[in-house]
Chain A
Amino acid sequence: MLGLEKKDIRILLIVAVLTLFAPFILNPFPAGSGWAQFNAGYPDLMQRFVIFGIFAIGFNILFGLTGYLSFGHAAFLGIGSYSAVWMFKLLSMNVLPAIALAVITSGLFALLIGYISLRRSGIYFSILTLAFAQMTYALAYSVLTPITGGETGLQLALDDPRVLDGASTGSNIPVPGIFGLEMRSNSQLEMGDWVFNLSTGYYFSGIIMLLAFYLSIRIFRSPFGMMLRAIKSNQQRLNYTGLNARPYTLAAFMISGMYAGLAGGLMAAMDPLAGAERMFWTASGEVVLMTILGGAGTLIGPVLGAGLIKYMENILSKINSDILHTWFAFLPDGLEDFVVSMVYPFIGKGWHLTLGLMFMAVVIFLPGGLVEAGQRISRIFKRKKTDETSKKSTTTEPAE
């Protein structure tokens, strides 16, 4: 089906089902209960999950397959956002042209930056991409203020031309939508104590993520993907066989830049503002973390990593010391303060610390990331089942 093997279909289906039911899966606690703060099923965060999922999937095509570690991928995210917002300002509030332009411009920038950076490999390549990303950030922040809005970010205004939409009728700025369906519209489904958010923007991004995911499976399984893997395993040998690796790496770089542009365009479609911070080097570092945490070179890993990091950033960081005190209120006073002071550095503002420790643990004990953790667990179960016919367990391959 769809030109995929059975195993890949299964992964695609898992991702599709997760995406479809995310509003329910992410809201396991009734609203109003003390646990409700762990609910992640509100539109903004769900949109972030899938958008950063796309970003990480794209990054994985470059890093996971060719092994080229780009440290400047956030530049394409930012370029995508700026192009999309300009499209909203000039052409129409429909998200399709905006996303199309975001993908095209980021692709062009990726072609240019890749053409120069890919002359080197390894650490030199990483530094070059980092330099380019910081350059675009600095340009967007100050020199190009008329185009990018500088520190304030690029915003929509009432008197934007919006050629296709005609003159704006109301006195409020229109919101992005797709043929009249507003991205921000959201219907809440109440079932007893539970409230579920079914957001248009989320499902729109979700569908695009599924398409992006499908495309990435096809790339992984194609001869082109095989060639990229060959570059990762031994580029020198490839050169000796008379093959020029540059066009392949450049194509991979461009594709992954376009994925980042797509994610940037979607971010602007969900929230029509583009800020320069999106291109800062920490944003580039974040996608590297996502990919490695989830499992570089695996299909589903980057999506999991993106979800995990965004969850921690938005949920764990919100827990302040007052909330902690209510959690541990059952303990005697002195002990309560002690426990809170021990736990506090790791959550709230200190969530980066927890992330760092987790990242270290994953890299040291699970080099394959979360995907490897999943495989180990499933292998334990499989071994129990098929202990006699142990032939099969030896052929377990990484779920690439």
Chain B
Amino acid sequence: MSKSNLTRRGLLKTSAVAGAGVALPTIFTASSAAAYTNEPTGSTVTLGFNVPQSGPYADEGADELRAYELAVEHLNGEGDGGMMGTFSSKALQGNGILGKKVEFVTGDTQTKSDAARASAKSMIEKDGAVMITGGSSSGVAVAVQALCQEAGIIFMSGLTHSNDTTGKDKRANGFRHFFNSYMSGAALAPVLEKMYGSDRKAYHLTADYNWGYTTEEAIKSSTEAMGWETVNTVKTPLTQTDFSSYIAPVLQSGADVLVLNHYGGNMVNSLTNAVQFGLRDKEVNGKNFEIVVPLYSRLMAKGAGANVKGIFGSTNWHWSLTDEGSKAFVKSFGTKYGFPPSQAAHTCYVQTMLYADAVQRAGSFAPCAVAEALEGFEFDGLGNGPTLYRAEDHQCFKDVLVVKGKENPTSEFDLLEIVEVTPAEQVTYAPDHPQFAGGALGNCNNGA
């Protein structure tokens, strides 16, 4: 009995001590000293690179990470400087950001919103990251963007193509350089009209999740505006690997164009199935049957092999561009890793540079100051021509590439050829465009 008395007293004592600790006025604690979340006080600044290292987009994540490491090198004045030399803003000195050496932590998003948020949280709470960037899916981008808004951290999204990231789910602390579904539609439609005519019947196969919906809507409305008819739209489960049962009804529907709103492994499989079914050799309504893939990436083209030949799509950037910025980036990436970068690597590299430059110009790491420096920022020399970071929705407006699977590829990286560079004006939309309606940016949050 005496034993239990002792423990009880011990418990009371210890809990009293701990209670006093919890109730300590915040004056003794560190959080009140900082002006904003994770203010870098030492000689270094930590950035958080949150990329998929496992799961369906692991390849893209690995390429993103390579680009980030390259960007950190360049920011710290190592290597050949890459696009820092061609960037129209000359604020960056090659001595880190605001004189602080850039360090980074990495995390695995697993392409799951939950895992991505946990990983971002540990970067913020444990490693003291002042900016989070990366990701290869819109679901993750939207989830992490919301988290960064709450925590008072800047989020520079990686590859995210859904309209919602800067549409209904936009946040004041989040910024997107990558293009979106609407831009894909607006860029593709004129080329498709030129190639295939304005009297076509389209059949959509759409991946059954958020990005699929916005892409389907964007392509549908742009093609219908030029006279195409949408025969049917069918949703396919994201986990589907065999699309034969979805391809068969396409022929009976009387459609003469198949639009595959698929990405990654989905697209590789559906396109392969469609080609195996001989769709491209068919003639419907007196016209050749055609296939369109709204969002192309080199890694996907590689997966689909010879099946991509002659198929149209859009992309954010391609390493075969010949402007100074792209050439400098391809050169320094190629020197370090031995192969050309993907569009995911490009957008991540550029986002890091844009963030560093904004901090440098603002003279502070405080999210609100950085956001102000980025809003309405016009720049050039980062591979996409003159670009505007629009203040209303934190979306970049720049040229969009319409590409086609190359007929005679010379190497395993040379799979796409650029058909047309759609100028930025043609893909620009009003901030309150119906496809982006709902949601509000809110105010920037400094946290702490």
Contact = CB atoms under 8 A, between A and B. Distances in A.
Given A173-B150, A271-B147, A44 B125 contact: yes
A155 interface: yes
B146 A273 contact: yes
Interface string A1-23: 10000100110010011001100
B149 interface: yes
A234 interface: no
A233 interface: no
A278 interface: yes
B21 A198 contact: yes
A277 B29 contact: no
A158 B438 CA distance: 10
Interface stretch (B83-91, B207-215, B248-256, B428-436): B207-215
A151 B31 contact: no
Contacts of A197: 125
Given A172-B443, A173-B442, A190 B30 contact: yes
A300 to B, nearest CB: 16
Interface in A204-226: none
A175 interface: yes
Contact of B117 (A170, A171, A186, A273): A273
CB-CB nearest 10 A-B residue pairs: A151-B209, A275-B113, A44-B121, A151-B139, A277-B112, A42-B125, A142-B208, A171-B443, A42-B126, A188-B30
Interface in B35-60: 53-54
B18 interface: yes
Contact of A195 (B28, B30, B440, B443): B30
Interface string B95-133: 000000000011110001111011001100110000000
A6 B213 CA distance: 60
B122 A45 contact: yes
A275 B112 contact: yes
Interface of A: 1, 6, 9-10, 13, 16-17, 20-21, 39, 42-45, 48, 138, 141-142, 145, 150-153, 155-159, 170-173, 175, 184, 186-190, 195, 197-198, 203, 271, 273, 275, 277-278, 314, 317-318, 320, 349
Interface in B422-448: 439-440, 442-443, 445
Contacts of B225: none
Contact of B11 (A13, A142, A175, A314): A13
Interface in B129-186: 137-139, 142-143, 146-147, 149-150, 164, 169
A277 B238 CA distance: 13
A70 to B, nearest CB: 21
B409 to A, nearest CB: 31
B14 A20 contact: yes
Given A13-B11, A39-B126, A45-B122, 15 more contacts: A20-B18, A142-B208, A151-B138, A151-B139, A151-B211, A158-B439, A159-B440, A171-B442, A173-B150, A187-B31, A188-B31, A190-B30, A273-B114, A273-B146, A277-B114
A145 B210 contact: yes
A16 B15 CA distance: 10
Interface in B225-243: 235, 237-238
Contact of A21 (B18, B24, B113, B139): B18
A155 B440 contact: no
Nearest to B105: A318
A368 to B, nearest CB: 26
18 contacts: A21-B14, A42-B122, A151-B137, A151-B139, A152-B143, A153-B139, A157-B440, A158-B442, A172-B443, A184-B150, A187-B31, A189-B21, A189-B28, A190-B29, A197-B125, A273-B117, A273-B146, A349-B53
A197 to B, nearest CB: 7
B410 interface: no
Contacts of A203: 22
A188 B172 CA distance: 27
B2 interface: no
B285 interface: no
B121 A275 contact: no
A150 B21 CA distance: 42
Nearest to A271: B117
Contacts of A155: 142-143, 146, 169
B411 interface: no
B26 interface: yes
B4 interface: yes
A16 B11 contact: yes
B385 to A, nearest CB: 31
Contacts of A271: 117, 121, 147
B408 interface: no
B122 A141 contact: no
Contacts of A171: 440, 442-443
Contacts of B245: none
Given A141-B238, A188-B30, A278-B114, A152 B149 contact: no
